[in-house]
Chains A and B, each alone.
Chain A
Amino acid sequence: MLEADVEVDRRDFTVRAELRVQPGERLALFGPSGAGKTTLLEVIAGLVRPRRALITLGGRVLTSTAAPRVAVPPWRRRVGLLRQDPGLFPHLSVRANLGYGPAADRSGTELVQLAGVLGIEKQLAAMPARLSGGQAHRVALGRLLLAHCDALLLDEPYAGLDASLRRLLTSLVRELVTARQVPSVLVAHELAEAQAFADRLAVIDRGCLLQAGAPDEVVRRPATRRVAELVGYLGFVPAGDSDAAPLAGIHPERIAPGAEPRRGLVMAGTVEAVRPAGAGWEAELRVADAVVTCQLPDRPGPAGSDLVVTALDPPWFGPDGAALVRPPSGEQVGA
């Protein structure tokens, strides 16, 4: 198990987080750029010195700032880090890159087998400069897997790759993490990427771990309004006129056309803008004083027309931004 209780100073804030990742578990650290996600990984990898930390991996203490102080150097941590830049050694062939780690198999059987799984078996003799971006990422991933690390840290490794390759690599890593029973942590600033990978999602913002849980749970039941904003809730509609009225979080993808009071909050408003979005339509809807974004399967009426939609089982937040345990029932807002 990977356990990390970390405090590390950055220029503008302090990153504080406590993580526990079981063998075979996939944790995604999700948050905006500059939230401190990468810093956290670099502390675990031993590349950044923390102010205070206790990091253990499989019972081994890697970092301890309390007595007796421990700071295992990166080359003895057995922690693999894959970044957005594949970081292939340009003077070594693909085969030599794959077999770089001292723990990589010397017979070459595993290397060839993994190269086949990754679809780079024909590039083994090539130099990294000859590879496409996707191939370079696959080689970097293969090199990491062949090094047989005790933990995998993935720092937005697939940014810039096309969607199909992302899916392929994500499912491959999922399978291998499960098969090898190593703890793994993915850093992502795109929710879909984090959800595709993880079986636990942790939301981090300005160095603070705001919420952790099952990916669907975090998205459906954000603990605070800030978490809701980070996971994609684009509108907050008050359930009354007073300043203390609870706010319903509206996620554009959790909208049903028409009034379905039994499924959530019915909102009636005026369409302000309509545009195509993916296979459907996106509408800006003014409800009372708030503007909410709705994704709808069919094209709504033009700007200025009335529209009634239902926000499916929305989370509710109190004036302090914390989620309400018991949401108000039977609410309906708008004209």
Chain B
Amino acid sequence: MSGFASVAGAAIIWIALLGPVITLVTHLSGSAIASALTAPGALDPLIVSLESGAVTVAVLLLLGTPLARMLARGTLPFPRVWEAGVLCSLLLPPLVIGLVLVFMVGPFTPIGQLLGDVHLSATNTFLALVIAEVYESAPYYVLGAQAAFSSVDPRLEQQAGLLGDRPRRVFRRVTLPLAAPGLAMALAVAWARAMGAFGAVIIIAYHPYGIPLQIYTTLQETGLASALPFALVLLVVALPLPLAAYIWSARARGRRRG
């Protein structure tokens, strides 16, 4: 009986989670999609979202991976302080992050002025969009990657070292392959968060439009029905990477089981 209750509970939450996707698909007609997406410039926000998402993911890989690894191995002094820093950006509502970013990198701040000196601006620019997306997605990547690195037994790395591998080679031959499925999942989640970033974006990077802002402005200007096709676009472009990462991770784990 308890087994049946557990399955029923799991089914309810699963259907509830899938509900919005089902609703989205069932409320769209082919003609509505065609007319929304064939309007002049309709797909420009998609390009913006894809480009900013790609840059965000690259930044996370480059800067977030070493941090995640050091957090996992406890090699940083005062590790709890570092972890709290990562958690802060996860706990702050995205809208608040956007507000704070204005005071941090806006045009009248020291950082904003430094950027101005090199003819850059962190307000309503592509750079601002990337900054907002990084803030919204980084904790998901760093915490996921930390878990991925933590799952690698340090004794395996030790053993590889004793067999003659330098640390960099150990990382390439042992750590990275073993953490890769978890890293891929963390990156996929971060990608989805970056593509859907809205709260911080609307404050600091209203322009250039990405898809989430396009949905919002379309909703404001022409109503719910015309905004829905863009929601489908967001789903279609955000989903393949997490899906591919999930399939790849599952296969990698399956290969290890032989």
Residues of A at the B interface (CB closer than 8 Å) are 45, 47, 73-81, 83, 85, 87, 89-91, 100-103, 126-127, 129-130, 143-144, 147
Which of B66-74, B121-129, B161-169 lies on the face that meets chain A? B161-169
Pairs of residues from A and B, 10 with the lowest C-beta to C-beta distance, nearest first: A127-B258, A130-B258, A101-B163, A87-B159, A102-B164, A74-B161, A75-B161, A91-B177, A90-B256, A129-B257
Cα of A30 to Cα of B158 in the assembled complex, Å:
24
User: Which residues of B are in contact with A by a Cβ distance under 8 Å?
Assistant: 153, 155-156, 158-167, 170, 173-174, 177-178, 252, 255-258
Contacts of B159 in A (CB 8 A): 81, 87
Query: Is there contact, CB below 8 Å, between A91 and B258?
Result: no
Report chain B residues within 8 Å CB of A91: 177-178, 252, 255-256
Residues of A within 8 A of B173 (CB): 100
**Which of B162, B167, B170, B258 has most A Cβ within 10 Å?**
B162
Please determine whether B155 and A147 come into contact, CB atoms closer than 8 angstroms: no
CB B182 to nearest CB in A, in angstroms, measures 13
Pairwise interchain contact B165-A102, C-beta atoms closer than 8 A: yes
- A202 to B164 Cα, complex, angstroms: 29
Q: Let me know if A89 and B174 touch, CB within 8 A.
A: yes
Is there an interface contact between B174 and A103, defined as CB atoms closer than 8 Å?
A: no
Report B232 CB to chain A, min CB distance, Å.
Answer: 38
Q: For B177, what are the chain A residues with a Cβ–Cβ distance below 8 Å?
A: 91
Give 7 new A-B contacts, CB below 8 A, not counting A129-B258, A130-B257: A73-B166, A74-B161, A75-B164, A89-B178, A91-B252, A129-B256, A130-B258
Which residue of A47, A74, A83 has the most chain B CB atoms within 10 A of its CB atom?
A74
CB distance from A153 to the nearest CB of B (A): 9
| Bound: A144/B163 CA distance, A | 7
- CB A213 to nearest CB in B, in angstroms, measures 30
Given contacts A75-B165, A102-B164, contact A47 B258 (CB under 8 A): no
Do B258 and A126 touch across chains, with their CB atoms under 8 A apart? yes
B251 shortest CB reach to chain A, Å: 12
Measured between C-beta atoms, what is the minimum distance from B217 to chain A in Å? Answer: 47
Considering the complex, give the chain B residue whose CB is closest to the CB of A102: B164
**CB proximity of B73 to chain A, nearest CB, Å:** 14
CB distance from A94 to the nearest CB of B (A): 10
Task: Give chain B residues whose Cβ lies under 8 Å from the Cβ of A79.
Answer: 162
Known A85-B155, A87-B155; judge A75-B257 contact (CB<8 A).
no
**Selected A-B contacts with CB under 8 Å, 29 pairs:** A47-B162, A73-B166, A74-B158, A74-B161, A74-B162, A75-B163, A75-B164, A75-B167, A75-B170, A78-B164, A79-B162, A80-B162, A80-B163, A85-B155, A87-B155, A87-B156, A87-B159, A89-B156, A89-B174, A100-B173, A102-B164, A126-B258, A127-B256, A129-B257, A129-B258, A130-B257, A130-B258, A144-B163, A147-B164
Q: How many Å lie between the Cα of A65 and that of B156 in the bound state?
A: 28
Residues on B with C-beta less than 8 A from A129 are 256-258
User: Which B residue sits closest to A91, measured CB to CB?
Assistant: B177
Q: Which residues of A contact B167 (CB under 8 A)?
A: 75
A127 contact set on B, CB distance < 8 A: 255-258
Most A CB contacts (10 A, CB to CB) among B156, B159, B170 go to: B159
User: B4: shortest Cβ distance to chain A, in Å?
Assistant: 33
In the complex, the answer to whether B162 meets A90 with C-beta atoms within 8 Å is: no
Contacts of B170 in A (CB 8 A): 75
Please give me the residue from chain A that is nearest to B181 by CB atom. Answer: A91
Residues of B within 8 A of A101 (CB): 163-164
State the Cβ distance, B170 to closest chain A Cβ, in Å.
Answer: 8
State in angstroms the CA–CA spacing of A129 and B257 once bound together.
5
**Are the CB atoms of B155 and A83 closer together than 8 Å?**
yes
B54 CB to nearest chain A CB (Å): 28
Partner of B164, one of A47, A87, A103: A103
In the complex, what's the smallest C-beta–C-beta distance from B122 to chain A, in angstroms?
41
User: In whole angstroms, how far apart are the Cα atoms of A45 and B158 in the complex?
Assistant: 10
Residues of A within 8 A of B153 (CB): 87
List the B residue with the shortest CB-CB distance to A78. B164
B178 to chain A, nearest CB (A): 6
In whole angstroms, what is the CA distance A245 to B120 when docked? Answer: 92
Bound CA–CA A47/B177 (angstroms): 23
B256 and A147 form a contact (CB under 8 A):
no
Q: How far is the CB of A131 from chain B (nearest CB, A)?
A: 9
Cα A79 to Cα B155 in complex, Å, equals 15
- When the two chains form their complex, are residues B162 and A75 in contact, meaning their CB atoms are under 8 A apart? yes
Which residues of B lie under 8 Å from residue A147 when comparing CB positions? 163-164
Q: Once the chains are docked, how many angstroms separate the CA of A91 from the CA of B256?
A: 5
Cα of A100 to Cα of B173 in the assembled complex, Å: 10
Kindly provide the distance from the CB of A114 to the nearest chain B CB, expressed in whole angstroms.
Answer: 15
Complex CA–CA separation, A77 to B164 (angstroms): 8
Q: Report how far A42 CA is from B80 CA in the complex, Å.
A: 28
Smallest beta-carbon distance B164→chain A, Å: 5
Residues of B within 8 A of A73 (CB): 161, 166
**Which residue of the partner chain, among B162, B166, B178, B252, contacts A45 with CB atoms under 8 Å?**
B162
